[in-house]
Amino acid sequence: MITLTPKEQPEVPIEIDTITPDSLAGKSLDEIKNIPILHGNGQVPLADFFEVEGEAGATAAETKILIDGDVSQTKRIGQGMTAGAITVKGSVNNYVGAEMEGGLITVEGDAKGWAGQNMRGGELEILGNAGDYVGSAYRGDWRGMSGGKITVHGDAKNEIAEYMNGGKMVIKGDVAIMPGIHMNNGVLIIEGNVIARTGGEMAGGTIVVKGIIDEFMAGFEYLGVEKDIEVEGEVIPGAFYKFRGDYAIKGAKGTVYAAVAGNAHIAP
């Protein structure tokens, strides 16, 4: 295991997409210390901002990275990793687990925006809150998260699961507006409340909201109440209002389940 202990985090953020189990596997400690990372618009060696200890595994799958402290000014942790594990004992900045294809990332604090952007596989777990665009697409891309699993134990903000194409996302807290915007496939489960625009312009996929949806949209069709719903092989107990849409999109087949408890105001 490689342990990275953060020194003081700078005001101008650093980016460590060059530090993944894939890039560290088989390298010596000295080599790792000298891997360039981005600080503002210049490159510096990893050792400028982290104490580096431990030993990397022979392959990515055998390599674990422990970031032992708060790295809230560090972006792109675990970007594009395919195997192995990264554990962060604090909060992170943008793009944690972006473009990840395999392995496991655990963030024990909060994450800022774009966590798991364009994720293709593996597992990303955030024990605190997440920001906007969890599991979204790069700007202008119409293919978002396509595989893997994201779990956020706290709240998330706007436009999570934007253009989602596959995989699974579970938010245990509340979300702001537009969860599952332009969603095409996959499963989004929100255990808390949603402010508005659940599944806006969704063409496919499934959204389950166990909490309260403040405002719902008129482009959906109401299909009645369903009990103990089955979503991709998993049974979710309870009674749910079922909606199909968003009919603003031609041929839309998305499904939104909203818990009967607390959501009587959105059923017509």
Under the rule (CB under 8 A), what is the footprint of another protein?
Answer: 11-13, 38-42, 94, 113-114, 132-133, 138-140, 142, 159, 177-178, 181-182, 196-197, 200-201, 215-222, 245-250, 268
Rounded Cα distance between 206 and 117, Å, is: 19
- Whether cis (ω within 30° of 0) applies to the bond prior to 246 is yes
CB closer to another protein out of 170 and 247: 247
Residue 206 CB, nearest approach to another protein (Å): 19
Residue 139 CB, nearest approach to another protein (Å): 6
CB closer to another protein out of 64 and 112: 112
Residue 256 CB, nearest approach to another protein (Å): 12
CB closer to another protein out of 25 and 203: 203
Residue 255 CB, nearest approach to another protein (Å): 15
DSSP string, 44-83: EEGGGTEEEEE---SSSTT-EEEE-S-BTTEE-TTTT--S
Rounded Cα distance between 60 and 82, Å, is: 8
Q: Is the dihedral of CA 222, 259, 116, 165 positive or negative?
A: negative
Radius of gyration of the chain (CA): 20
CB closer to another protein out of 237 and 268: 268
Residue 49 CB, nearest approach to another protein (Å): 13
Q: DSSP assignment, residue 248?
A: T
CB closer to another protein out of 85 and 217: 217
Q: DSSP assignment, residue 97?
A: T
